């Protein structure tokens, strides 16, 4: 059966689109996993750098447990993502092996068919059967149709030759991809073994530390509760300040002062809209660092019966780290409380960002700030060497998870 050029093109195009769509989907997934794997590796590097920086400092047992928990979590995620990559590569390898087998069979059949056509064509030429085939026609119309058939047969022969060339190239490319995928898989497996050993070592140190802590759990439980009470006191004061800012703004606009929302001017509405449109794309409040404590209510890593209520995130960073505004806005308040390092509150329309535990503040109340503008420096604990920024984001008095707003937090 001779396939017309148009039909052949349609078949090839459909095959290309189906295979291409599947390959694109697989490659896209692999790129996403590789991007995530590199993020986790950078996160581990940050943790190791900060650990090395504070190696000479005596950290509290609570801080050490938080560090171990966080690194164990990141290492576990790295192993999980790497396994997903390896599994995806296994599926791609299996798919390519099947494709190679199919291509070889197809190529073999094409070559056999092509050889048969060449032999038949050669015999036809020797016997001058083509001329006789035309001359034996009953009329001109039949001769024309026979001439078209001969031409179509010749075109099909050329087409078969081109198909063989294309299939040979495809087979070579698939073989090259297969070899690369097998090599990539070996590298991932080797890397995962190293990460697994690191994870085991971290878990052993964590367990040793937990045994030491459990011997005096009541003392640590008391410290945990005290820290939570202090955090709650600060949160209450912040909440009071936010309510006061809302009442002041609404009074100025001639609105009810009891509202939980800011009465916005036209300019503030634009600012709030721009802030919302940048959700998930806001810069980090520090240039380097990682989230050591996430947002929300969660069990304490030492005593699971106790909970931590976190209205924001705690970011571990380097000594002398500068604090940056995450978006354009106005400094609404600089809060100073007894035994608490300064807190800067910036308003972005009806949204607020708060930067806590600062050693120095470079702005004052009423200042207009721009995205990434340095507003202060994070406080470094002289005894532990820890440099922790607490960052909160809220809409009016309702806090929101910063991880949903900050880029790749």
Crossing angle between the packed helical segments 140-214 and 61-126, to the nearest 10 degrees? 160
221 inside domain: no
pLDDT value at 394 more than 90: yes
Average pLDDT over every residue of 207-225: 80
**Residues β-bridged to residue 333:** 345
pLDDT at residue number 130: 56
- Would you say residue 224 lies in a domain? no
* Confidence label for 1 from pLDDT (cuts 50, 70 and 90): very low
The number of C-alpha atoms within 13 Å of 336 and in the hemisphere containing its C-beta is 5
**Percentage of the chain modeled with pLDDT above 70:** 82
Within 127-139, residue ranges assigned H as helices are 129-135
> Is residue 20 one of the residues assigned to a domain?
yes
Select from 214, 245, 262 the last residue of a domain: 214
Interhelix angle 140-214/217-252, rounded to 10 degrees, is: 120
Contact yes or no for 246/372 (Cβ under 8 A): no
CA distances for 175 relative to 49, 97, 167, 179, angstroms: 42, 8, 12, 6
* Half-sphere exposure at residue 191, Cβ-oriented, CA atoms within 13 angstroms: 18
Tell the residue number behind the tokens 């396994």, with chain if given.
Answer: 83
Judge whether residue 4 has pLDDT over 70: no
With the CA atoms of 231, 235, 237 and 238 taken in that order, what torsion angle do they form, in degrees rounded to the nearest 10? 130
- Nearest Cα neighbor of 71 from 284, 286, 287, 316 is 316
Given this model, what pLDDT does residue 319 score?
Answer: 92
59-73 residue pLDDT tens: 677 778 888 888 998
Task: Give Cα separations from 3 to 9, 12, 98, 156 (angstroms).
Answer: 10, 12, 26, 8
For residues 46 and 131, state if they share a domain.
Answer: yes
- Residues 283, 319, single domain; the answer is yes
* Total domains present in the chain: 2
Contacts of 213 (CB under 8 A, 6+ apart): 61, 65, 220, 302
Q: Of 119-133, 149-163, 168-182, where does mean pLDDT reach its minimum?
A: 119-133
Q: Which residues contact 341 (CB under 8 A, 6 or more apart)?
A: 356, 357, 358, 359, 379
Does residue 144 surpass a pLDDT of 80? no
Token pair 């960073």: residue: 317
In a domain, 370, yes or no: yes
Q: Are 314 and 200 contained in the same domain? A: no
> pLDDT category, 126, cuts 50, 70, 90?
very low
pLDDT at 227 (0 to 100): 83
> 316 has which bridge partners?
290, 388
Question: What mean pLDDT do residues 288-314 have?
Answer: 87
Using left for φ > 0, alpha for ψ between -120 and 50, and beta otherwise, residue 385 falls in left
Asked if residue 308 and residue 189 are part of one domain, the reply reads no
Least confident of 82-96, 112-126, 297-311: 112-126
pLDDT at 344: 97
**Mean pLDDT, residues 314-320:** 93
Cα 200-205-207 angle, rounded to 5 deg: 90
Number of other CB atoms surrounding residue 156 within 10 Å: 17
Q: Is residue 75 part of a domain?
A: yes
More confident residue, 301 or 207: 207
pLDDT digits (tens, 9 = 90+) for 164-174: 788 788 888 88
Q: Reply yes or no on whether the pLDDT at 114 is more than 70.
A: no
Residues 277 and 353 in one domain: yes
Confirm whether 222 is domain-assigned: no
Mean pLDDT of 279-293: 94
Exposed, middle or buried, 327 (CB in 10 Å: 0-12/13-18/19+)?
Answer: buried
Residue 225 lies in a domain: no
Tell me the Cα Rg of the chain: 35
Same domain, 238 and 183: no
User: Which residue did the predictor score with more confidence, 247 or 148?
Assistant: 247
pTM, to two decimals = 0.68
Both 154 and 250 in a single domain?
A: no
Output the pLDDT for position 72.
Answer: 92
Q: Are residues 293 and 166 in the same domain?
A: no
pLDDT at 159 over 60: yes
Task: Residue 374: give the domain boundaries.
Answer: 232-404
pLDDT value, residue 2: 47
Q: What is the CATH number of the domain that holds 289?
A: 2.70.70.10
Q: How confident is the model at residue 226 (pLDDT cuts 50, 70, 90)?
A: confident
Which among 19-23, 223-227, 377-381 has the top mean pLDDT?
377-381
Q: 376 lies in a domain?
A: yes
pLDDT tens for residues 41-52?
988 988 888 878
State whether 202 and 255 are in the same domain. no
Residue whose token pair is 């976190």: 310
| Same-domain pairing of 206 and 238 | no
Q: For residue 138, give both structure tokens.
A: 């009953």
């Amino acid at each position: 059966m001779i396939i017309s050029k148009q039909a052949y093109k349609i078949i090839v195009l459909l095959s290309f689109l189906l295979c291409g769509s599947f390959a694109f989907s697989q490659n896209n997934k692999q790129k996403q996993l590789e991007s995530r794997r590199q993020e986790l590796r950078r996160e581990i590097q940050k943790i190791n750098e900060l650990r090395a920086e504070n190696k000479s400092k005596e950290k509290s047992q609570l801080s050490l447990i938080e560090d171990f928990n966080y690194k164990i979590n990141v290492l576990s995620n790295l192993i999980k993502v790497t396994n997903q990559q390896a599994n995806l590569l296994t599926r791609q390898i299996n798919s390519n092996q099947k494709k190679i087998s199919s291509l070889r069979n197809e190529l073999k059949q094409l070559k056999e068919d092509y050889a048969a056509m060449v032999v038949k064509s050669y015999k036809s030429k020797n016997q001058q059967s083509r001329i006789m085939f035309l001359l034996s026609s009953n009329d001109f119309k039949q001769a024309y149709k026979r001439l078209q058939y001969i031409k179509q047969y010749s075109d099909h022969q050329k087409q078969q030759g081109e198909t063989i060339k294309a299939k040979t190239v495809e087979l070579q490319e698939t073989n090259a991809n297969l070899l690369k995928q097998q090599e990539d898989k070996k590298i991932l497996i080797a890397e995962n073994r190293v990460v697994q050993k690191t994870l085991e070592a971290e878990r052993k140190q964590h367990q040793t530390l937990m045994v030491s802590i459990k011997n005096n759990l009541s003392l640590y439980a008391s410290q945990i509760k005290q820290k939570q009470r202090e955090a709650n006191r600060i949160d209450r004061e912040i909440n009071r300040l936010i309510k006061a800012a809302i009442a002041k703004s609404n009074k100025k606009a001639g609105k009810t002062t009891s509202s939980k929302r800011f009465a916005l001017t036209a300019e503030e509405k634009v600012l709030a809209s721009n802030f919302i449109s940048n959700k998930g794309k806001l810069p980090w409040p520090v240039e380097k660092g990682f989230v050591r404590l996430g947002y929300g209510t969660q069990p304490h890593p030492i005593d699971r019966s106790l909970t931590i209520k976190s209205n924001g995130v705690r970011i571990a960073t380097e000594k002398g780290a500068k604090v940056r505004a995450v978006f354009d806005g106005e400094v609404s308040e600089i809060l100073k409380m007894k035994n608490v390092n300064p807190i800067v509150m910036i308003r972005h329309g009806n949204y607020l960002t708060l930067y806590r535990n600062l050693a120095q503040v470079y702005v004052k109340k009423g200042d207009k700030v721009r995205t990434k503008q340095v507003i202060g420096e994070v406080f470094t604990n002289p005894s532990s060497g820890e440099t922790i920024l607490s960052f909160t984001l809220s809409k009016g008095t309702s806090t929101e998870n910063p991880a949903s707003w900050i880029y790749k937090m």
